[in-house]
Amino acid sequence: KKLFGEESSKPQLLSFINAFLELENMDKIVDLEFRNLEKLGLSKIDRKTIYDIYCTDEKGNHIIVELQRAEQNYFKDRMIYYSTFPIQEQGIKGLFYDGKALDRQGKLRKVSWDYGLKAVYCIGILDFEIKESVSNDYIHYINLRDQHGKVFYDKLKYIFVEMPKFIKQENELETFLDKWFFFLRNLDYLQEIPEIFNNDNVIRDAFKKAKFINLPKAEQGIYLESLKQYRDWSAVLETAEKKGYDKAKEEIVKAQEREAEAQKEKTEAQKREAEAIKKIENGIKNFSNLGLTIKKIAEAMDIEVVKVQEILNK
């Protein structure tokens, strides 16, 4: 998430996605806009257990990137399910102005949606091997084809990467995508940036972002907590092999529900704090409108003069 899911990480995400598109001879993406994950219909638990990135490119195409650490039943079903949300989101009910259609007087007129869709790309980076996968291919491009192998619909594509199958060494890297996979596969073990990345500023910047020591203290805490959760869940999944998957799944769900509740309480506390600050700001502005001096307002509100001045200057 630190590497790809922040506004400052756009160059890394663009480079990563374009490396996939280049292999399929598809047009490169120029720009991206991060979208709200809630638009995908994900539950709070889903958003905690997977590292989803949802964005649109400059043409309006939708892109979902998911890093899946632990093996999960029905993973492919879930990816198909998630891909339907960006499709449904594009539907427009009733009439609307498209900025192009004109009436006989040359004025804009309302039109109905013609069902034209933007493309949806789903990229799954898996830290496990797909059970049904029998080939040594570590990357799989999937789209809708008819019985003759001809592409039936080219606006819905799935790309799955089985990272355990990527075993290339530094001297075997052929494509830019190979370099990204090598970087991600060995990130936990790399102490210094390999020489092969000397001319790749985007990956070099990604390496710097990923180094734990460069993270602010607050984000270090978040990272450690995330790492603890992952190790805890991995331990539970290992236990599931001996005691039964259903029992382990129940324990995971309960743990995730507790985390979700804690996050909810934190959000509510932040909301109350924001409301209190807003109330103070409104009070200061009301006093100012009544003609009180900054000093008088500070005394009345029991706030420093500098803070009053700062609020009034907003």
Per-residue pLDDT in tens (0 to 9) along the chain, 314 residues? 667 777 788 888 889 989 988 877 777 888 888 776 555 555 554 544 444 688 888 888 998 888 887 777 788 888 888 888 889 888 877 776 667 777 677 777 777 888 889 999 999 988 888 877 778 899 999 999 999 999 999 999 999 999 999 999 999 998 889 999 998 888 877 778 888 888 888 888 888 777 765 566 677 677 777 777 777 777 766 666 666 666 767 778 888 888 888 888 888 888 888 888 888 888 888 888 888 888 888 888 888 888 888 888 87
| Cα separation values, 206 from 185, 198, 254, 266, Å | 13, 13, 34, 30
Within-domain flag for 308? yes
168 within a domain of the structure (yes/no): no
What range does the domain containing 281 cover? 275-312
Q: Given this model, what pLDDT does residue 35 score?
A: 74
In a domain, 244, yes or no: no
Per DSSP (E only), the strands in the chain are: 32-34, 51-57, 62-68, 95-102, 108-112, 120-126, 139-145, 151-162
Give the pairing type, strands 32-34 and 139-145. Answer: unpaired
User: Crossing angle, helix 176-186 and helix 201-210, to 10 degrees?
Assistant: 10
Going by DSSP bridges, is the β-strand pair 151-162/139-145 parallel, antiparallel, or unpaired? antiparallel
Q: Which helix (H) or strand (E) holds 272?
A: helix 245-289
**Confidence (pLDDT) at 241:** 65
First-to-last alpha carbon distance for the chain, in angstroms, is 33
Q: Is 279 within the bounds of a domain?
A: yes
Give pLDDT, residue 243. Answer: 65
**How is residue 149 written in tokens?**
């192998």
Two tokens, residue 103: 């009436």
Write out 191-244 in H/E/C secondary structure. CCCCHHHCCCHHHHHHHHHHCHHHCCHHHHHHHHHHHHHHHHHHHHHHHHHHHC
pLDDT of residue 36: 64
Is 21 part of any domain?
A: no
Domain count, the chain: 1
Instruction: Say what the pLDDT of residue 289 is.
Output: 86
pLDDT reported for residue 48: 47
